[in-house]
Amino acid sequence: MKLRLFFLSIFLVCSEAVFSQIVDDTILENLGYEAMSICMKKGRFSWIDSQYYACIDSGIAVYPFWYFYHLKAMPSIKMADYEGFVRNSEIACEKNPKWNDYFAYVSFYHMRDYVLTLKLLRKLDAQTPNWADIVMNDNILSIYGLCYSEMGKLDSAIIFFDSIIETKLDGKSKFYPTLYDYSNRGVVHLKLNNNLLAKKDFESTIKMYSQSVEGHYYLALTKYHLKEDANEIETLLKIALKSYDKGLKNNHPYGEYVDLPNQIWRSDIMNLYYKIKGIKTYEESTKVPISY
Amino acid sequence: MMKYYVLILFPCFLSAQQDFKLCDSTNWGTYFAKQYDQERYKVESKLIKEVILKEFTYPRDTNVTGYITIRYFIDCHGKSGKFSVLQVDENYKKTTFNPQVVESILNIVKRLDIHNLRKNFRKGKENELMDYFSFFSFKFKRGEIETILP
């Protein structure tokens, strides 16, 4: 009998660890839906009918049904559950294609799925022709340009950035062109070896935002390519570094969970600095802790 | 007697694989909070990705096209555990890739010691450290790693 009890107690101790793991995994799956669960906890969440649900918090807010799936899709992608993201987005899209296509293409862009991003952009554009839709104050033309740029279709990318900068979207939005439209076009010019055009774009970026990391770093890089004054390049890099350390680099509001495809890093700034100083580039990657 | 051994050994075997425990399984954060952007890892993620690619001597399998994601937690002591794998094909449907490829990635991610400790963001608990969630997604195209997220 004692032996049986002994075995049983060992079994229970060991099982506890296993079951707590299962419970934690379930939490991982479900807690991702944080935004939704705020409503659901303590009965502050209720269905009204098949079209709407209510979130009762410090009052009553009524949301359309599709928004529920949008809320489910949002944390799914941030938790890297791509299947869940697509499944929930598709349901939400059936109800409100415009909003959800917008969210979806931004997400697929950050997932580096440029083919699908472009497909969604074309679909969205067909629904609202002539670029009439500057949805959520975000310009889909710049995502077009960025996709083509990442796909290596640089001439196409230039066309889209030009259409924002040169036409200023015919005054459809006071927010465009942004400094990033200039810096993104500048990067494409840089890739195409159009250094003088790139220089002009980065100067415009700095004119719009005197602390721009992108503007200062890329202007320094362009001047380096053009073999311009090393002291000037050094000054630009120092400003870029200072701004970088202040956290002023470009961050897409919907992409905070991933690195931007064309992101600048501190090591990029430092490596260029070492280059102009004639110091051998430091192998930063040796500093990454990994066990063997 | 044999049945007791089976009863004991099975969960003990599993628990030995899963000795990682969160400090607080009901309250954890995510790696991506914007205010921590520059403190996400001990070194910048560009360098981490370079090291992962360098370390990755995986079996070439041209059937692998899609995303392999390794999700895990970092506990309040900075230790990582609770690794789980998600696999989707290029159409974002659940799938199962070559286990050798998955295993190879998982081993690299497990060996990385890159995470900073995370302060609790909740009011009144600012001085405490908290567990948090993180992941690495590998976008594959015909067996080659095209990009690494986040």
Tens-digit pLDDT profile for residues B96-105? 999 999 999 9
Pair of tokens at residue B138: 């590998």
Dihedral angle over CA of A96, A100, A105, A111, nearest 10 = -140
> What is the CA angle A204-A210-A215, rounded to 5?
50
Considering only alpha carbons, which residue of chain A is nearest residue B147? Answer: A112
Query: What does the pLDDT look like over A7-31, one tens digit per residue?
Result: 555 544 444 444 344 334 444 444 4
Total CB pairs under 8 A between chain A and B? 142
Q: What is the pLDDT of residue B127?
A: 80
Q: Return residues 69-98 of B near A (CB < 8 Å).
A: 69, 71, 73, 82, 84, 86, 88, 92-94
Q: What is the pLDDT of residue A208?
A: 93
Q: Which residues contact A154 (CB under 8 A, 6 or more apart)?
A: A148, A188, A191, A192
For an interface test with B, which of A1, A2, A20, A21 has the most B Cβ atoms less than 10 Å from its Cβ?
A: A21
Peptide bond into B150 cis (omega under 30): yes
Q: What is the pLDDT of residue A192?
A: 97
Up-side HSE of residue A253: CA atoms within 13 Å toward CB?
Answer: 4
Q: Do A7 and B4 count as a contact with CB atoms less than 8 A apart?
A: yes
Of the candidates A31, A78, A287, which has its C-beta nearest B43's C-beta?
Answer: A287
Q: What is the pLDDT of residue B32?
A: 65
Q: Do A285 and B15 count as a contact with CB atoms less than 8 A apart?
A: no
Q: What is the pLDDT of residue A65?
A: 66
Question: Is A4 an 8 Å CB contact of chain B?
Answer: yes
The yes-or-no verdict on residue B39 having pLDDT over 60 is: yes
Q: Which residue has the tokens 């004991």?
A: B8
Pairing between β-strand B28-30 and β-strand B66-74 as defined by DSSP bridges: unpaired
Whether the Cβ atoms of residue A165 and residue A178 lie closer than 8 Å to each other: no
Q: What is the DSSP letter of A137?
A: G
For an interface test with B, which of A119, A259, A270 has the most B Cβ atoms less than 10 Å from its Cβ?
A: A259
Q: What is the pLDDT of residue A114?
A: 93
Chain B residues with CB under 8 Å of A18 CB are 11, 14-15, 18
Q: What is the pLDDT of residue A32?
A: 38
Q: Return residues 250-269 of A near B (CB < 8 Å).
A: 251, 256-259, 263, 265-267
**How much is the average pLDDT of B122-150?**
87
Sign of CA pseudo-dihedral A69, A80, A103, A89: negative
H-state helical runs in chain B: 2-17, 45-55, 99-111
- Residues lower than pLDDT 50 in chain A: 11-35, 41-45, 58, 135-136
Chain A residues with CB under 8 Å of B37 CB are 247, 251, 256
Q: What is the pLDDT of residue A27?
A: 43
Q: What is the pLDDT of residue A43?
A: 44
Of the candidates B4, B15, B111, which has its C-beta nearest A290's C-beta?
Answer: B111
For an interface test with B, which of A15, A254, A286, A288 has the most B Cβ atoms less than 10 Å from its Cβ?
A: A288
The yes-or-no verdict on residue B128 having pLDDT over 60 is: yes
Q: What is the DSSP letter of A42?
A: G
A289 min Cα distance to partner chain B (Å): 5
| DSSP secondary structure, A219-241, as one string | HHHHHHHTT--HHHHHHHHHHHH
H-state helical runs in chain A: 2-31, 34-40, 65-78, 82-95, 97-110, 114-127, 140-150, 154-165, 179-191, 195-208, 213-225, 230-245, 266-277
% of chain B residues with pLDDT over 70 = 81
Q: What is the pTM of this model?
A: 0.78
Q: What is the pLDDT of residue B115?
A: 85
A29 min Cα distance to partner chain B (Å): 11
Tally of CB atoms within 10 A around B130 = 20
Q: Do A257 and B21 count as a contact with CB atoms less than 8 A apart?
A: no
Of the candidates B7, B69, B82, which has its C-beta nearest A80's C-beta?
Answer: B69
Q: Which residue has the higher pLDDT, A65 or B77?
A: B77
